[in-house]
Amino acid sequence: MAANPQIALSGLARALIQKNRLSEADAVACTAGDGATNAFLHEVTQRKLLSARDIAQFASETFGYPLLDIAAVNQDFIPKKVIDANLERKHQVLALSQRTNPNRLTLAIADPSNMRALDEIRFQTGMQLELVVAEVDELAKCVERIHASAKETLEKLSMEDDFGALDVGHDEAEDVDASDIDDAPVVKFIQKILIDAIKDGASDIHFEPYEKFYRIRVRTDGVLHEVAQPPLALKEKISARIKVISRLDISEKRVPQDGRTKLVLSKSKSIDFRVSTLPTLHGEKIVMRILDSSSAMLGVDALGYEPDQKQMLLEAVSRPYGMILVTGPTGSGKTVSLYTCLNILNKDGVNISTAEDPAEINLPGVNQVNVSEKAGLTFASALRSFLRQDPDVIMVGEIRDLETAEISIKAAQTGHLVLSTLHTNDAPTTLERLKNMGVAPFNIASSVIMITAQRLARRLCSCKKPVDIPIESLLQAGFRGDELDGDWQPYGPVGCDRCKGSGYKGRLGIYQVMPISEELAHIIMTGGNSMDIAAQARAEGISDLRHSGLLKVRQGLTSLAEVLAATNE
């Protein structure tokens, strides 16, 4: 049978005919009009005229190139972007390794006689090619696994229609491809990550690039969980998109940057994000802090204060002047406590000013100022300006130095209510910390009216179960003998769909609320240390953090392990 003159058989097809491995009629029937080799080989295997393994062995023996099991190749070590992705998919070839001296590229191909493909790749790469033969079906799968990831993987990961609208900036750098910013799958994927994090009650989202993978983790109830591993090739597009919506310089990748963005969920609901970028070895790590202003509107009852602690806090907040300090490590809920107090005070007849770094929650009716060290707007300079603005209440994000501390104390002594934070372990050590900063003991005693130390512990999910804990362990944890009367039952985590198997859902506050009594003020002025202050606080019935946490265990709200971890001084 004569071959159709309009159909050009490939070199491999002609060789198969010459070696009587394939009839000319079958070869013609399997060849497309444009003579595409890949289509021919796939058609041969689909018609079961020859197996992919048989074709690969024949091509290896006939053309003298090594046969490679492409399925056994570790894809993590396959070089990316050596050959244009569209070219690799078009010809179903794969770059396996490259050498610069000499300038050679090892290429996996199903048909080494495909001169059109080889010429295009040589032209695009400018490299000499060393060929290996691979089975056509396995090679096609491998190429798709590597290159289908960019859009198709994200489209699968972002199967979500109910997206909010991101507040997008327009400071796009000229040297960044617009496709890196407005790529639809990337946009949808990022919005899905943000929406899911909000639904799960997360506090932070981490976008982390590494050498061989890219992962996204969210912090829920104080614990980080991995939620996605998008393709590594998309790390630049994801980074560019987040930086654009946060109004950051996307051309600057060498120094850290800070920005903000907003996700509008509805006409009445929006969520702010504080964005921080950090250059790492393998790209920019981005952390987005979720700032939900509704958390400040929950009210003091939702914070977890015991009735006596709540009463002491409300009495202190209602004072016309003095200083209230909230202490604890990063992530212990200090900001929410301060904003809750501000929300109580936020009335028409009260002038409130805050200096923060940065302002995390937007409170209508409160004059909020972001400090900027570069611009010369420090906590101290902001405080001086506040005192000329006829304030009633002043909130300082953090007392970091003696100058800020002295101005805050001066404000508290001259008829203003001052709220601020310090990074100390508990309430007694806060007073010693102020002394170590250089504040005179008399000024501390005459201005500070209350100190609240706090921690956050995970709240047990409704799937909790009773647990048996030896009395010795309970005593060692800090329970008193009279508290182990058998009238209460400790609980532990189980895990269900609601809590995603962790056994915990949400968090609760553990507090040490210490008003400054006359006896405590006397100890401060006479040079007493934190141990003296703690002893006097115990004598006045002030529970320390550990005992406040153990009370939550007795109430069945959290586990003993959580309290021990949160209050491990």
DSSP class per residue in 317-366: HTSSSEEEEEE--TTSSHHHHHHHHHHHH--TT--EEEEESS--S--TTS
Residue 197 belongs to what H/E stretch?
helix 184-199
The DSSP letter of residue 109 is: E
Amino acid identity, residue 346?
A: N
Which residues in the chain land under pLDDT 70?
Answer: 1-7, 32-37, 76, 80-81, 101, 147-183, 293-298, 569
Give the pLDDT score at 188: 83
Residue 108 belongs to what H/E stretch?
strand 103-109
Two structure tokens written together for 67: 């046969």
- Are 439 and 406 within 8 A, CB to CB? yes
Give the pLDDT score at 205: 95
pTM for the full predicted model: 0.66
> 3-class SS at 428?
helix
| DSSP per residue, 15-67 | HHHHTTSS-HHHHHHHS-TT--HHHHHHHHHHTTSS-HHHHHHHHHHHHT--B
C-alpha to C-alpha distance for 139 and 304, rounded to whole angstroms: 59
Give the pLDDT score at 180: 46
Give the pLDDT score at 211: 86
C-alpha to C-alpha distance for 469 and 491, rounded to whole angstroms: 9
Residue with tokens 């033969």: 133
Amino acid identity, residue 421?
A: T
Q: How far is CA 214 from the centre of its chain?
A: 12
Whether the bond into 185 is cis, omega within 30 of 0: no
